[in-house]
Amino acid sequence: MKADLLIKNAAQLVTSRGASPAPLRGKNQGEITVLADGAVAIKDDKIVAVGTTADLEKRLERNQKRREIDASGKVVLPGLVDPHTHIVFGGSREHELSLKLKNVPYLEILAAGGGILSTVKATRRASLEELVTIAEKYSRQMLAQGTTTAEAKSGYGLSTASELKMLRAIKEVDRIQPVDLVPTFLGAHALPPEYKDDREGFISLIIEEMLPRVVEEKLARYCDVFCEEGVFSVEESRRLLLAAREMGLELKMHADEIVPIGGAELAAELGAVSADHLLVISKEGIARMAGAGTIAVLLPGTTFYLREERYAPARAMIEAGVPVALATDFNPGSSPNNNLQLVINIACLYLEMTPAEVINAITINAAHALGRAIEIGSLEEGKKADIVIFDAPNYEYLAYRYGTNLVDKVIKNGNVVLEVDNNG
Ligand code: IZC
Ligand code: ZN
C-alpha cells in the first residue's frame, strides 16, 4: 500500500462506526469507534487505510517517501462539519448587546427594524469583494478551530441582486480557502422594509424571480425559510418550499425556535433534509420527524446567547429516533460564534448529550445534513482526507475543556493546512 502522509501513534482515533448509509439515530447516535494507538494513511486527497499504527506500518510500502505525523498523546477525528451558518454578512451587531441585557426580545428587535434588518442594510451596502474578504476571514477562523466543511446561507440581501451577490460570495469563498462551503438560499429570512406592507409581493418575488435565478446559476443546493411567528408562517413556508422543491432544490427549515407553530411537522411533511433550532418542538413534531427521518440540526450556542430558558429537547428526540446534528448557527445577531468546540461543551452540558453522541452530531450526521456523507464525516478508506488532530488525551476531554482552541493540526483534502505549536 502506498501513502504520502501517515498520521500515527494517536492516543485515540475516533470515528463513527462503519459506512453509514443513513444518519445515526436512537442508540446508534452514540456509537463510535475508538482506536488506541490509531493511525490513518493518506494518498493524494483520500484516506487509504485506518487502523492501529502497527497494522498500518506493516501494510505500507517500505522505502517510500512520505510525511509522518506523530499524534502521540492526541486525538484524531474526522474534520468537523458545521451544517448551519450565516457566514456571509456585512457589519456586526454588538450595539444590540445592551438591548439584550435589558431583556428586549430577539423578535422585538427585529420588528423594530433592527436585528436581521440591520444586517440586511450593511450587507446590501457591501460590495461582492468586501463580502468575500470578510467571509474568507470567518472561514479561516473556522478552519483554525477544526471545521473543514460548513453550510453557508444567503438571507441578508432580500432583493434579487443582493441575494445573488451573497451566493456568489459564498461560491468565491469556497474556491479561495480550504473550508468547503455548501450553499443554501434563504431569501425568506425576513420581510425587507420595502415590502413591509406587501407580504404577498415579497413571496412572489422569491418564487418568480429569485428562485429561478438561483437555480439557473446553480448557486444553491438547499432552500431554507425562517418559519417563525411574525416572520414566515407555516402556510407561507409551505408555498415557498414547495416552489423551491419543484425547481430542484433540497429543503431545510428554521423551525420551532421561539414560538411552536408547527415548523417541524412541515419539515417532515415536505421531506426536508433537516429542521433546525427546534427549541419548542411539539411531541407531534418529534414523532413526525422520526417517521420521516428528518435530521434535527440543533443550535445550542444560539440558545445560550439568547439567554433562553429552554434548550431543544435533544434527549427526547434521540429517544424517539430523530437523528441529531449540531451546528454553530454562526451569525451576527443570535450566535456570533463560529467555533464548534464550544458547541460540544454546550451540547453536553445543556442538551445532555454524551460526548460520543455529540461527536457523531458534528461529523457524520452533520455530513448527512449537507448531503455529503459519502465523502466526509468519518475516517474510512475511500473518504476525503479531512482530518483534525486535537491536543487532547481522549475525546471526552473535548467536552470537558472549554474556551481554549484545542486544535493541533488540520488536514484538508490530504494537505496539512494548519499546524499549531501547542508546546510553547
Ligand atoms: O441575523 O439574527 N435566527 N436568523 C434566524 C438569525 C437568527 C440570524 C440573525
Ligand atoms: Zn440560522
- Judge contact between 207 and 239, C-beta under 8 A: yes
Given a cut of 70, is residue 302 above it in pLDDT? yes
Tell how far the Cα of 64 is from the centroid of ligand 2, in angstroms.
47
Report, as an integer, the average pLDDT of 344-362. Answer: 98
Q: Which ligand is nearest to the CA of 332?
A: 1
Return the pLDDT at 423: 54
- Residue 63: pLDDT band with limits 50, 70, 90: confident
Strands 222-225 and 274-277 turn out to be: unpaired
Return the pLDDT at 424: 46
Helix, strand, coil shares of the chain, percent, nearest 5, are 40, 25, 40
**3-state SS, residue 257:** coil
Start-to-end C-alpha separation, the chain: 36
Tell how far the Cα of 75 is from the centroid of ligand 2, in angstroms.
30
Return the pLDDT at 122: 98
pLDDT digits (tens, 9 = 90+) for 263-297: 999 999 999 999 999 999 999 999 999 999 999 99
- Which of 10-19, 287-296, 329-338 bottoms out in mean pLDDT, i.e. has the lowest? 10-19
Contacts of 145 (CB under 8 A, 6+ apart): 80, 338, 339, 340, 341, 405, 407
Q: Which residue has the cell 454546550?
A: 346
Closest C-alpha residue for ligand 1 atom 2: 333
pLDDT digits (tens, 9 = 90+) for 76-130: 999 999 999 999 999 999 999 999 899 999 889 988 888 999 999 999 999 999 9
Closest C-alpha residue for ligand 1 atom 3: 334
Strand partners, 14: 34
Given a cut of 70, is residue 393 above it in pLDDT? yes
Tell how far the Cα of 254 is from the centroid of ligand 2, in angstroms.
6
- Judge contact between 79 and 390, C-beta under 8 A: no
Report, as an integer, the average pLDDT of 55-64. Answer: 93
pLDDT digits (tens, 9 = 90+) for 214-263: 999 999 999 999 999 999 999 999 999 999 999 999 999 999 999 999 99
Return the half-sphere exposure (C-beta side, CA atoms, 13 A cut-off) of residue 248. Answer: 10
Given a cut of 50, is residue 47 above it in pLDDT? yes
Strand partners, 82: 150
- Judge contact between 165 and 156, C-beta under 8 A: no
Given a cut of 80, is residue 20 above it in pLDDT? no
Tell how far the Cα of 252 is from the centroid of ligand 2, in angstroms.
10
pTM (two decimals): 0.98
Where is 328: in which H helix or E strand?
Answer: none
pLDDT digits (tens, 9 = 90+) for 192-208: 999 999 999 999 999 99
Ligand 1: lining residues by beta carbon, under 6 Å: 86, 115-116, 119, 226, 254, 331-334
Tell how far the Cα of 215 is from the centroid of ligand 2, in angstroms.
21
How far apart are alpha carbons 135 and 86 in whole angstroms?
10
- Judge contact between 14 and 75, C-beta under 8 A: yes
For residue 198 the three cell numbers come to 406587501
- Judge contact between 22 and 373, C-beta under 8 A: no
Burial pattern 226-256, b for ≥16 Cβ within 10 A else e, equals bbbeebbbbebbbbbbebbeeeebbbbbbbb
Nearest ligand 1 atom to alpha carbon 86:
8
Given a cut of 60, is residue 191 above it in pLDDT? yes
- Judge contact between 81 and 362, C-beta under 8 A: yes
How far apart are alpha carbons 364 and 356 in whole angstroms?
12
How far apart are alpha carbons 189 and 231 in whole angstroms?
8
Q: Which ligand is nearest to the CA of 92?
A: 1
Q: What single string gives the DSSP state of each residue in 164-175?
A: HHHHHHHHHHHH
Q: Which amino acid is at 119?
A: T
Average per-residue pLDDT for the chain: 96
Q: Which ligand is nearest to the CA of 96?
A: 1
**Residue 41 backbone dihedrals phi, psi, to 5 degrees:** -105, 140
Q: Which ligand is nearest to the CA of 253?
A: 2
For residue 240 the three cell numbers come to 415557498
Q: Which residue has the cell 422569491?
A: 206
Where is 93: in which H helix or E strand?
Answer: none
Q: Find, among 236, 153, 166, 155, the residue nearest to 190 by Cα.
A: 155
- Residue 64: pLDDT band with limits 50, 70, 90: confident
Closest C-alpha residue for ligand 1 atom 5: 226
Tell how far the Cα of 76 is from the centroid of ligand 2, in angstroms.
29
Nearest ligand 1 atom to alpha carbon 228:
5
CA angle (199, 159, 238) in 5-degree steps: 45
